Amino acid sequence: MKLGELERMSVDDLWKLHLAVGEALAVKMAAEKDVLEGRLKRLKAKPTLERRIAKSERRGYPPVFPKYRNPDDPSETWAGRGRQPRWLAEQLRSGKKVDDFRIEMAAE
C-alpha cells in the first residue's frame, strides 16, 4: 500500500487495517517462535560428536619436567606444581631454601 492510499482512508478503515496487521504479525511471530524452539530442543537433545568428545576428553598438556630433587633419595622429584612434597616441606622447616634442591639443567 502506498502513502497516498493511506492518506485517503478514513480513521475507521485505518484502525481496521492496524488490527489486521497486528493479528498477522502475531501469527507470523508465533510460527517463527515455534520453529526456533524446535531447533533449540534438537540442539539440546542431541549434542554433536565434537561436543561429546570435548566434554569427555581432557585437554592435552605438555609434559612437565622435575625442577627439584630430594638429595637423600634422588628418585623423589617435584616439578614445582601442586602441593609441596613432604620431604621438601621438612627440609624448608629445617632452614634450607627451595633453590638448594633445584636440579641443574644440562647445557645444550
Confidence class of residue 92 from pLDDT cuts 50, 70 and 90?
very high
Report d(CA 75, CA 87) in Å as an integer.
12
Residue 107, domain member (yes or no) = no
Residue 108, domain member (yes or no) = no
For residue 108, is pLDDT > 70?
Answer: no
For residue 76, is pLDDT > 70?
Answer: yes
Q: What tens digit of pLDDT does each residue of 30-48 get?
A: 999 999 999 988 888 766 6
Q: Are residues 36 and 80 in the same domain?
A: no
Q: Are residues 36 and 76 in the same domain?
A: no
Q: Are residues 12 and 49 in the same domain?
A: yes
Cβ atoms of 69 and 103 closer than 8 Å: yes
Q: Are residues 10 and 37 in the same domain?
A: yes
Residue 61, domain member (yes or no) = no
Q: Are residues 11 and 44 in the same domain?
A: yes
Total structural domains within the chain: 2
pTM for the structure as a whole: 0.44
CA torsion 26-32-36-39 (nearest 10°) is 140
Residue 27, C-alpha cell as written in the block = 501469527
Q: What DSSP string describes 72-101?
A: S-TT-EE-S-SSPPHHHHHHHHTT--GGGG
Q: Residue 102: name the closest of 83, 86, 78 by CA.
A: 78
Report d(CA 77, CA 80) in Å as an integer.
9
Cβ atoms of 45 and 51 closer than 8 Å: no
For residue 8, is pLDDT > 80?
Answer: yes
Range of the domain at 88: 68-101
Confidence class of residue 106 from pLDDT cuts 50, 70 and 90?
low
